[in-house]
Every structure is written in structure tokens, then in C-alpha cells.
Amino acid sequence: MSLLALLVLVPGVAYFLGPLFRRSGSSAMGDSTGHFLDAGPLTEFAVGEWRLVNVELVRQNGWEKSRVQRSIWVNRQREPADSFFVLSPICPHLGCPVNFRQDQRRFVCPCHGGTFDTKGTLISGPPPRGMDSLQYEVRANRLWIKWQDFKVGVKEQLPVTV
């Protein structure tokens, strides 16, 4: 009897827990994860101004590949030239999209009220760490950004492989 149950349960549970076992490697082909994405020419970015840039990723979404859009906070720095603050808008608390409040000159998460300064450092509220910065490159006078998801709700910045 227990053998019968085992025979049904093992493949069933393995099927259900499937997502645990395919954490990486499944998305090797055609995914734009891990690639730098074009965020536009440098001239578009005024120095010292926060701006939300949209980039498009291709991701394996179950049975199909989907184009997903991600927006990224970008701020061009005066010194050194061609350097940027590039911050993921995903709140490190629980994943809400963080807004930049021009009137307060800081980032505010609309969900649980976390606030971050203009460098993305945590000022107040429940988030366990500051906003996550993303890698960028300047190629041929254009800004290229690498999108990366991070685990939310923990102090350490742990990249999530997609």
C-alpha cells in the first residue's frame, strides 16, 4: 500500500516542485538576461536628473518567450564624466516599484513607506538594505545597462538567476 502511495507521490511531488530544480541553465538561449541593454544615447541624460528608463528583456516565460519591460532609475553624474547612478526600482523590502519624489529629493516606496536618498541609500522605513544598483557601460556614446533581479527582504544583495 505504501509502495503504491510512494509510486504516485514521488513523481507527483517532483512535478510540483519542478521550479526548484530548474533555477538556472534553462534560460540559456535567446534570453537577454546577463546582457547589457541599450538605454539610449548619453545626450538624453541631463546631469543630476533622475529619470526612469525603459529597457526590454526577452525571458523564458513558461512555454513561451516573452518580452518584458523593466524600468530603471538613471542619474548622470558630473564627476567623473560619463558616470551614472543606475538603480533598480524594485524595493528591496518586498518588491514594490519605488518612485522618486522630486519635492522631497528622495526615493519613496509607495507600499510600506521605505525611503532612500539620491544615492539609493536607505534613509528610513522597513527595507533591509538600500536600493540595488545595476551594472552599466558606456559604449559609443550610449548607455548600456544590465538588468538584474535581487532577492527582496534580506540584508545581503543576492542576485536572483532567471
Partner 1 sequence: VGRSFQGEEKVNEQGKPAGFWEARTGWGRLKEFLLLEPLPGGARWAAAFGSLLLFVFLLQIVTGILLTLNYAPAEKTAYSSVKFIQEEVSYGWFIRSVHHWGSSAMVILLLFHLVQVFVWGAYKRPREFTWMIGVLLLMCTLGLAFTGYLLPWDQKAYWATKVGLGILGTVPEVGDGMRTVLQGGPEIGNLTLTRFFTLHGFVLPGLIILLVVVHMYLFRLHGVTPGWWQSPAQLKAREQPFWPYQAWKDGVLALLFLVGLGVWCYYQHAPLEAQADPSQSYDARPEWYFMFLFQLLRYFHGPYEIIGTFVLPLVFFLILFFWPFLDRSPHRNPFRRPIAMSLLVLGTMGLVGLTTFAIVTDVKMHEPEIAQKKEEAKPIAGPIQRLDVAKLYSDHCVACHGVDGTGKLIRPGMPTIPDFTSLAWQMSQTDLEIVHRIRDGYEPLMPAFKEKLQPSQHIALAIYVRAFAIEHVGEPGAIAAVTPPVTTVPPATKEVQPKTEVKPKEPTKTEGIVVATPVASSMPVAELYRAYCLACHDLDGRGTIIRKAMPEIPNFTDAKWQTAKTDPELLHSILEGKGKFMLPMKAKVNKDDAGRLLAYIRDFKEGKQVVKVEPKELAVPPPRSEPAVVPAPAPAPGAPAPAAPAPTTAARPTPATPLQPQVAEDNAGRIRVAAVYFKQYCLNCHGIDGRGTEIRPAMPMIPDFKQSAWQEAHTNAQLAASVLDGKGTLMPAFRGRLDESQVQDLIAYVRAFGPTTLAQAKKPPSSEFEGQFQQLQREWETLQKQLNEIGPKKDK
Cα 71 to the center of its chain, rounded Å? 9
- Cβ-based nearer residue to partner 1, 99 or 118: 99
Q: Which three cell numbers stand for residue 111?
A: 507600499
Minimum Å gap between C-beta 132 and partner 1 is 14
Residues 35-54 within binding reach of partner 1 (CB under 8 A): 39-41, 43-44, 51-54
Residues 72-131 within binding reach of partner 1 (CB under 8 A): 74, 89, 93-99, 110-113, 124-128
> Is residue 44 classed as helix, strand or coil in its secondary structure?
helix
Interface with partner 1 (CB under 8 A), residue total 54
Measured between its terminal Cα atoms, the distance across the chain in Å is 40
Residues 6+ apart with CB under 8 A from 77: 47, 48, 83, 84, 85
Pairing of strands 136-139, 106-108: unpaired
Q: Residues in the site for partner 1, rule: CB under 8 A? A: 16-17, 19-20, 22-23, 39-41, 43-44, 51-54, 56, 59, 61-64, 66-71, 74, 89, 93-99, 110-113, 124-128, 149, 151-155, 160-162
